[in-house]
Amino acid sequence: MTTGSGYAKVTYPVNRFTQRPVLGLTVRSTSTNNVGVPWQEQGSATAASFKVIIFTIGGAVSAGQVEWSARQMTPTSAQG
C-alpha cells in the first residue's frame, strides 16, 4: 500500500472480520529515504477498513509504502 500527501485507506475483503481487528503497521520505505513512522488515523479502524499516513521523524508527511497485518481472535480464544 502506498500513501502520499494524505491518508491512504485500506479496505479489507468483504466479511473478513466481524469486529475491528488488531493492526500492525510498519513503514517499508519512503520516497525520500527518510525514516518513516506509520500512524493510523484516530477512530478510523473498523471491521471493514482503516486509514494510515506516514510521518518522518521530523513530523513531515511522506509518501511511501506501509506493510500491515490485521488479526482478530475468536471470542472464546480471547478469554484466555
**pLDDT digits over 12-29, tens only?**
988 888 888 989 998 888
3-state secondary structure (DSSP) of residue 75:
helix
Which one-letter amino acid corresponds to residue 30? T
pLDDT of residue 46: 92
Q: Check pLDDT > 60 for residue 1.
A: no
